[in-house]
Amino acid sequence: MGCISITLGGGLMAVITLIEVVVGQAAATEKAACKFAGLYNFGDSNSDTGGISAAFEPIPWPYGLTFFKKSAGRDSDGRVLLDFIAEQVGLPYLSAYLNSIGANFSHGANFATGGSTIRRQNETIFQYGISPFSLDVQIWHHDQFKSRTKDLYDQVKSPFERSLLPRHEDFSKALYTFDIGQNDLSVAFRTMNDEQLRATIPNIISQFSSAVEHLYKQGARSFWIHNTGPIGCLPVSLFYITNPKQGYLDKNGCIKGQNDMAIEFNKQLKETVTKLRMQLPEAALTYVDLYSAKYGLISKTKSEGWADPMKVCCGYHEKDGHVWCGQKGVITNGSTVFGAACKNPELHVSWDGVHHTEGANHWFANQIFNGSLSDPPVPLSHACYRN
């Protein structure tokens, strides 16, 4: 398809693409569901399942209260989208690569850490919570994981120890998932003007692309790539904004300028994934428009009976102060307040102002699994087939 696209003019190409999509879709669903032998994930807090808790301070209670009934290294009251992906492809929840206790890597590993960016940032986690494990470092972790597990698998004799390790041949039969980029934008909103940020997006995307190419060279074949969400709809973006100017917010109360940057990032990401598809002849690359799923929920909260999407379930966020979920802090009148959870997290979209509730994550999962928001439009169950 790559050659045809390049040599033919726009109109004909569009027709051919359309036919291919329709045929591809029919063909994909006739095939048997993929049997992924593992799951390897790269990302930030949207898909961290214990990385940042292992490397730094554990995420506190009441994170985890809905599903795990204890804090479980996730920035949510329960499961994150990656957990639903694992369930959907029939694999156990992923252990964080950085977790040294109780980890089981037989079916993959999670390299994501809360606060991660694609580009390396020149700041420490103690300033604004940016993780030192940027995507390039997560790739190092992957490479080390792969080479060490190969050695170990051959060395260890006990079935118990072996059952904690992936088989070497399973790496190329695994699904490689990505959900990263949101923090590159949040750092940029803090440190750059719009023009500088626009000029930087190609470099961010190019570093993402290098990571995918690298994994492909290492044998990875199936890639499931989430685009970045509507960052301007996160309640945290609005905490300190009083009396916004006309046009600053869109009709759903989201910061339009920030969402526009996310949309530009996603446009370039999608183009790059299309290019990668031509460059990597054996790769099945699925670009997933998670942005639309997330924005879709925000625009449907009223009709579907959810709480106001700008209301935060966990934490104290009022005119007289902000105390984060699970933290203690002093508000204007001098009282100490605990950032507690609301009574009904299942009705909330936002868990802590930055991250979604398990309920919202589950809703997003149901939107993206059937492929209606993917390019090509294949369901998760068929993401191993190259169209």
Binding site for ligand NAG (CB under 6 A): 92, 104, 106-107, 119, 121-122, 160, 163-164, 320, 331, 333, 335, 366-367, 370, 372
DSSP string, 49-86: SSHHHHHSSPPPTTTTTTTTSS--S-SSSS--HHHHHH
Taking the complex as a whole, how short is the minimal distance between the CB of residue 326 and ligand NAG, in angstroms?
18
Tokens 């009022």, located at residue? 318
Please identify which of the residues 44, 45, 142, 222 carries the catalytic annotation.
Answer: 45
Please identify which of the residues 75, 77, 179, 352 carries the catalytic annotation.
Answer: 352
Which C-beta is closer to ligand NAG: that of 106 or that of 116?
106
Count of residues for the chain?
A: 387
DSSP string, 328-376: EEE-TTS-EEE-PPPS-GGG-SBSSSSSB-HHHHHHHHHHHTTSTTEES
Q: Please say if 45 is a catalytic residue.
A: yes
Kindly give, in sequence order, each residue whose CB lies less than 8 Å from that of residue 144, ignoring residues fewer than 6 positions away.
none
Which C-beta is closer to ligand NAG: that of 157 or that of 245?
157
281-320 burial string, b = 16+ CB within 10 Å, else e?
eebbbbbbbbbbbbbebbbebeeeebbebbbbbbbbbeee
Taking the complex as a whole, how short is the minimal distance between the CB of residue 274 and ligand NAG, in angstroms?
21
Taking the complex as a whole, how short is the minimal distance between the CB of residue 37 and ligand NAG, in angstroms?
11
204 touches 228 (CB < 8 A): no
Q: What is the DSSP letter of 291?
A: H
Q: Please say if 355 is a catalytic residue.
A: yes
Which C-beta is closer to ligand NAG: that of 216 or that of 356?
356
Please identify which of the residues 355, 356, 362, 382 carries the catalytic annotation.
Answer: 355
Closest by alpha carbon to 134, among 152, 151, 114?
114
Closest by alpha carbon to 70, among 59, 81, 80?
59
Taking the complex as a whole, how short is the minimal distance between the CB of residue 249 and ligand NAG, in angstroms?
26
Q: Please say if 352 is a catalytic residue.
A: yes
Taking the complex as a whole, how short is the minimal distance between the CB of residue 336 and ligand NAG, in angstroms?
10
User: What positions carry a catalytic annotation?
Assistant: 45, 352, 355
